[in-house]
Structure 1
Amino acid sequence: MSEINPPGPVWGLRHDITPAFGARLVQEGPKLHFLADRATLSGEFTPEQCEKLDATFPLFIARLEVALHDGRLDPRRSTRITDTVNGLTCEADTRGSCGYVYLTIYPA
């Protein structure tokens, strides 16, 4: 698969795996908000992978919110967590940013 170099910033965690979806989520208390202008696709997902990403993304968000609540993700300390669902892997980290969660999702 070919690498796509999007114009502008690359959001999410830097990763050498393609295809990948990266995003910076905004944290508001225990909730996470996705902003489409803070997301990047690298490489080319197959139509099946795109369907899986669409179906699985809300589940990853819900699991990250639980990780914030139980302390596995800490807004004040950088700690990367990894979760795999439906053939996709999600890596997430706050990078100690006190307000953002950075993530990358790629085929497992």
Structure 2
Amino acid sequence: MTTLTSPPWGLRHNITPCFGARLVQEGNRLHYLGDRAGLYGTFSSMQLRALDRSFPAFIRQMEAALRSGELDPHKAHTLRREKDGLICEADTRGSCSYVYVSVYPAPQPA
């Protein structure tokens, strides 16, 4: 499945395929808004299923990182997690109200 969304959401990468989103931060909770997200490039059906399975877990991990201070709403710092063959990168960019997210397939070992 190929989708191009304008403007691009999430952290900017030259990696495709990539899922990007801007999550709304409310304290240590994150809210996903579908109109603030997009798919870039072509994901296989297997990668899309992995994204559907993994994204809620990535959100829980980001919320835990907000609670622990590892992800700080006042400072830009990229958090990286891996699950089900996908890499999730998240950063507040010091915005105090958003968390920018990009999820893409992990590189396959040679």
TM-score, reference length from structure 2: 0.92
The one-letter amino acid paired with 1:67 is A
Aligned to 2:99: 101
What is the deviation of 1:33?
0.2
**1:101 aligned partner, one-letter code:** V
2:77 matched to which residue of 1?
79
Runs of 4+ displaced beyond 2 Å: 3-6
CA distance in 2, matches of 1:35, 1:4: 17
Task: Report sequence identity in percent.
Answer: 55
Q: Per-residue deviation at 1:4?
A: 5.5
Q: Which residue of 2 aligns with 1:10?
A: 8
Deviation at 1:40, TM superposition (A): 1.3
Give the aligned partner of residue 53 of structure 1: 51
**Alpha-carbon separation, structure 1, partners of 2:98 and 2:3:** 25
In the alignment, the residues of structure 2 paired with residue 33 and residue 5 of structure 1 have an alpha-carbon distance, to the nearest angstrom, of 22
Q: Secondary structure at the match of 2:12?
A: coil
The separation in 1 between residues aligned to 2:77 and 2:12, in whole angstroms, is: 15
Structure 2 SS opposite 1:77: coil
| TM-superposition CA deviations, 1:5-30 (whole Å, max 9, x none) | 43x31000000110000000000111
What stretches of structure 1 of length at least 5 have no aligned partner? none
Q: How many residues align?
A: 105
Q: Is the 8 A contact 2:71 2:92 kept in 1?
A: yes
Query: Match for 2:33: what amino acid?
Result: L
In 1, the alpha carbon distance for the partners of 2:62 and 2:3 equals: 27
